[in-house]
Structure formats: C-alpha cells, structure tokens
Structure 1
Amino acid sequence: MLHLVAIVIKTLSFTTRILFMIFSGLIISELLIETGIIKKFEKKFEGIAKLANLPPICGITLVTALGSTVSADTILQNFRENKKLNETEVLLASILNSTVMPIRQTFTYHLPVILPMLGLYVGLVYISTLWLGFLVLFFFVVVAGRIILKRGDTTSAMVEKNILAGEKSLKKVVKKSVKRFIRIAIIFVVTTFAVFTLMDFGLLEGIKEFVAPFARLLNLPPSIFLPLAAYIASPIVGFSMISSLLQSGAICEREAIIALLFGSIFMLPIVYLRYNFPLWISIFGFKLGVLRGLINLSFLMLTRVLVLALFCLIA
C-alpha cells in the first residue's frame, strides 16, 4: 500500500508543473482566439510556417514554443478543436514547434551544464548531434508540408477574417479552458501513473541488462558500463560519471562520445515513454499523440545511430 502511495506522490509531483503549463496554454490560446490578438502576430512569423505550406496562424505557436513547447502544442490543439487547423496541419506544426527546442536548451542546458562536464570536444560533438536531429525534423516538416499540404488551401484560410464573433468575458474563457483542461489532466495523470508503475516493477532494470552486451560489441571498456546505465536512467548523473572517467584517463574522448551516443539511443525511448507520449496523448488524443511521438523519436534516433556509426568507423 505504501509502495502504491509512493508512486502516486511521484506521479503528482511530476505532472503538477506540466499541468500548470498546459492550463496556461489553454487560457492563452482562448484569449488569442476570442480577442483576435493572434491576427496581429501572424504576419511577423508566418514566413517560417509558409516554408512547409502551413497556415500563417502556426507562426505564433512557433514563437510560443521558444518559451514552452507544451503551451505551443496546447494552442495548436485548441485551433484544431475550433476548426482553424486540420489534423495534418496540427501534426506538422507541432513537430515544427519541437525544432526550436535546441535554441532554448543551448542557453539553459547545453552551455552551462553539458560543456563544463564533458569538455569542449566531447560536449560539442554531443550537442551538434542533438542539433542535427532537430534539423532533420525541420526539413521533414518542410518536405512533408510541401507534398501533403497545398498553399492557399489550408483550413485557416477558410476562417473568417474576424475570428471574434462577439467578445466573451474572461470568466467564460476560463470556464471553457477548465472544461478541456480536466479532460487533458485526467488522461495525462493516469498515463503517467501507469508508466511509473511499469518502471517501478523493473522495466528500467531490464533495459539496463539488455544494453550491456551491445556495449561490449562496441568495444567499450567495462568501466563505462555503470555510467552508461546511469546515463540512460538520468543523463545528468551519467554526464558527471563519464566526466570523472575522462578526467582520470580511464576512457578516451572517442569512447566517451560512443558511450553517450549509444546510451542516448536507449535513453530516448525511455524519456518518450515517461514524458512525451503521455503528454502528447493527453493534448492531441491517442492517434495523433502516438503518431507525433513516433515521428519525432524515429528521426532523432536515426541521426544518433548514423553519427554513432561514423565514430565507430573512426580508427
């Protein structure tokens, strides 16, 4: 019983901050739609959206993603439910939103955390690989948008120029947002609880045991197995342990890079299972949420596999 309570507390602790961002995004999106403010911002950022034949309205969510991708995705779903974007436009726009993540993370995580821990060379290779993955995603959105979507034939183009049919009070906006928020919150909390329960019953340990034989095939020294497992469970802990091995000379820079890239291939699915999939399913629904996650995960893993293969070929 106490064990179950601990999982519940962990779930609530993990989801509280994210649910706050989702609720904020719902309020913002309702206000943007109901007051017509969004029309004032579309022109400034519609150029990037136009590259993928996305409606101009997607430009504002791209800018929002610089601050919070959760809020940006929530706004997209609101546009979808208000018939201003169709499912395909929401999918591509959401993936486009994720491509700005490296910009924010460079100043909040990469430069202050990764580089000091891993050193200039190892840190830059690792960060560049992360950037490459999102760059590939960006080109995917552009190419897919130009193939699937037709310029000037998007849903938002059929929306009346004046979105505001009649001013609504803040009270009504909040009421509408709360109704949608409750549905999203229930799905997110329940899904997260299920994932944490699976993790607690040994799913993560099984993954760690699965990784070790493959690490040996890459000729990684045994001293890096524990840091590698730690990295898969918690990147920050893994960074610090690998940093210690580098400084002591137990491993070389090439081995550190291979270990990080190899570990990230297994770490990504765990992160997506614990966080991204529950979040996107709660926002977009099961079908679109899963598809959204699989596309992102596939391209990010593919780029890391290719870079890993390159370093494994280096003598």
Structure 2
Amino acid sequence: MQSSTVLPVLFDVLPRVARIAAYIAVGVFAANLVVALGLVERIAGLSRYLTSPANLPDEVGTAIVTTAASTTAGYGMLAEFRESGVLDDRATLVAVTINTFFGFVQHIFTYYWPVLIPILGREVGFLYVGARAAIALAITLTGVVAGAVLLSGRTAASTAVAETDGAGDSDMDGDGGDGERDDPLRSMADDAARKTWKTLRRIVPRLAIVYVLVTLLLQTTDLEAFTDLASPLTSLVGLPGAAVPVVIAFTFDTTTGAATIAPAIGETFTPRQAVATMLIGGIVSFTVSTFKRSIPFQYGIWGPEFGSKVIVVNTGLKIVFLGIAVALLVA
C-alpha cells in the first residue's frame, strides 16, 4: 500500500487515538485509586439502586458515575474491573448495558440542548430528546433486569481491585506516625499509575491498529449503499416520501439531518412524524457508526472477541428500542 494513502490516515487517526487514550488513562487510574482509598462506598451510593438489583459489585457504581461525565473514561474503568477480575464477561456486559442512560446524559448538555433543540424548535426538539432519553433509560433498565436474572445467586459485595494486588493498606509501616501519613497515599497513587500504564500498553496499540485498518476500509467501501434501507423503512411505517433524503442526511450527520427536516415540520411532517423519521435515521446510521466508531473503540478496549459481544448487545438493544419508539410515534 502506498505511503501517500497511509500517511493521511495516520495523521487523522493518531490524534483521535491519543484523545481516547487520555480518557482511558483517567478512567483506569481513577478506578484503581478510588478502590485503594476506600471511596467506593461514597461514590457508588446512588448508583447502588441499579447495581444492587443487578447483582453487580459496588465498583461498577463508580464507572456509572464517571460515564455521565465521560463515556470513554467510564468504559476504561469497566475494562480495568474486568481485567482485575472484579467483573467476569457476563457481569461486564450487564454493566455496559446499564451504563447506556448515563452515557446519554452527557450529550444532553454538550449537544442536544445547545445544538439540536435550537435547530428543531422547542416542541420537536424536546420530543426527540425525550424519545432518545426514554430509549436509553429502557436499555439501562433492561440491563438491571438482565443482571437480576443472569447474575442471580451472586453477591454484589465489593471486590476491591487493590486487594488482588496487595495495595491499599492504610498503615504500610505499621507505626501510624504523622510523618508517615503521606506514604500510603503516594504508594497508592504510584500503584494506580503503574496499573494504568500496564493497561494503556495493552489497549492503545490495538486501538491504533484497528482505527487505521477501519479508516482505510472506509476509504475503499461505498457505505452509501446501506442507505438503500431508508426507503423500505420509511414506507413500512407510512412516512412521507420526503423522509428518505432526511434519513440519508441523518445517517451521516445528525446536525445536517436535523437542519434538513426542520423547515418541513408543520407542512410535510407532523412533529411525531419528524421524530420518527430522525429515529429511523438513527437505525440506519448504526451501520455506518459501527464501522466508523464502535468497532475501533470496542475492539481497542476489549479485544476482538469480547468487543464483538459488546457491539452486538449495544447495537441490538438500541435497534430494538428505536423500533419500538418509531412504532409508538406513528401508531
């Protein structure tokens, strides 16, 4: 393959990988530190209403809280808990599913409120964001139910990461003197940093390789062929023919799709039809976003085998609940 093809891809991918790696580092470091410091009980208090019925350990609550601020950091925490043995594969899938609503919350303040609602107008904007929030919440509650069923019989007690590695002793020298109080904290931070570096060495090279390969694949693949799904889907639910170009635009760029449909609301589309059209755009866009974002990110975090399971669960649940929401809107 010619360097003239690869170099532009590297310049595009490497900053993205560096940004993701930074968030993962924050998540993994925080995961080790909060456990070593015994802060799990304080941070995970509210999230225990979700983790306890799902038979998940308290550490997962810290990942849930973190996900509301940064999805990548939250995933980094879960990856560290899985690597250390706090979570097995089944429990990790349940935790990832429960994280869905909290990953959605951050987008309300960073995108939906300042960007999408002004474009769509108050009525349609709030209806669309409300529909997406309900879908995310339904997926989270599905995760709780799945944990209650699939993880039944397990104890949701804390299994500290630090315990398995010998870190976290409150008085390492045993003398408890004032002059030694900083040493345990420094030791915990150093230990968390070492574990973070170990995790990054495993994840980042894989992340970079998969991102490069996927980006090269996208440059040689006509993903627009997948938008042929738009016409059958819109016809199936009885939407106007004008919904097809909106779905296609929405598939590749949410803001463009919203700007495309906004002038037609009240004339070609009712508010409910407009929201249904955008949700169908979301269904079709999963085909594109899976290639562009999900595969590189999930494979980088978990590896191909478990990453594929996460993608199937995430995408499958989103498509199911998006379909239900569309059916309710056009009923």
Same fold (TM over 0.5): yes
Q: Distance in 2 between matches of 1:279 and 1:107?
A: 23
Give the drift of 1:251.
Answer: 4.6
Deviation at 1:117, TM superposition (A): 1.0
3-state SS of 2:124 partner? helix
Q: Which residue is 2:75 aligned to? A: 73
Distance 1:85 1:213, change over 3 A: closer
Contact 1:136–1:299 under 8 Å retained in 2: no
User: Which residues of 2 match residues 207-286 of structure 1 at below 5 A?
Assistant: 207-212=226-231, 214-215=233-234, 220=239, 223-246=242-265, 249=267, 251-286=269-304
Structure 2 SS opposite 1:61: helix
Structure 2 CA distance for aligned equivalents of residues 101 and 34 of structure 1? 25
After TM superposition, give the deviation of residue 121 of structure 1 in Å: 2.8
Distance in 2 (CA, whole Å) between partners of 1:182 and 1:13 is 17
2:199 is the counterpart of 1:164: no
Q: Provide closer, same or farther for how the CA distance between residues 6 and 164 of structure 1 changes in structure 2, counting only shifts above 3 A.
A: same
* Alpha-carbon distance in structure 1 between the residues aligned to 2:193 and 2:322: 43
Which stretch of structure 1 is more off in the superposition, 142-151 or 166-175? 166-175
Offset of residue 138 of structure 1: 1.8
Counterparts of residues 1-315 of structure 1 (less than 5 Å): 1=2, 2-43=4-45, 45-150=47-152, 153-154=155-156, 156=158, 164-165=168-169, 167=184, 168=187, 170-212=189-231, 214-215=233-234, 220=239, 223-246=242-265, 249=267, 251-313=269-331
Query: What SS is found at the alignment partner of 1:67?
Result: coil
Cα distance change on mapping 1:154 and 1:46 into 2, 3 Å: closer
SS at match of 1:100: helix
CA contact (8 A) 1:36 1:163 kept: no
| Structure 1 portions without partners, runs of 5+ | none
The RMSD of aligned alpha carbons is 2.9
Larger displacement relative to structure 2 (262-271 or 272-281): 272-281
Q: CA deviation at 1:7?
A: 2.3
Code of the aligned partner of 1:69: T
Q: CA deviation at 1:266?
A: 0.5
The 1:305/1:152 distance shift into structure 2, 3 A limit, reads closer
Contact map agreement 1:65 1:72 (CA 8 A) in 2: yes
Would the alpha carbon gap of residues 29 and 96 (structure 1) be closer, same or farther in structure 2, given more than 3 Å must change? same
* Structure 2 SS opposite 1:84: coil
2 CA distance for matches of 1:293 and 1:301? 12
- Paired residue type of 2:217: L
1:20 corresponds to which letter in structure 2? A
Displacement after TM superposition at 1:62 (Å) = 1.2
Structure 1 residue 279 displacement after superposition: 1.6
User: Using a 3 Å threshold, how does the CA distance of structure 1 residues 217 and 146 change in structure 2: closer, same or farther?
Assistant: closer
Distance 2:253 2:273 in 1: 19
Of 31-40 and 4-13, deviating more is: 31-40
Given the superposition, is the C-alpha separation of residues 284 and 250 from structure 1 closer, same or farther in structure 2, using an over 3 Å criterion?
Answer: same
Q: Cα deviations across residues 119-165 of structure 1 (Å, max 9, x unaligned)?
A: 23322332122112212212211211111223553574598699625
1: CA distance between counterparts of 2:198 and 2:286? 33
Change (3 A) 1:148 1:197: same
Distance 1:6 1:120, change over 3 A: same
User: How far did 1:223 drift?
Assistant: 4.8
Which consecutive unaligned segments of at least 5 residues does structure 2 have? 173-183
Deviates more, 1:214-223 or 1:229-238: 214-223
**3-state SS of the aligned residue for 2:276?**
helix
In structure 1, what residue type is equivalent to 2:314? N
Q: CA deviation at 1:189?
A: 1.7
The alignment covers a number of residue pairs equal to 312
Three-state SS of the structure 2 residue aligned to 1:51 is coil
Q: TM-score scaled to structure 2, two decimals?
A: 0.82
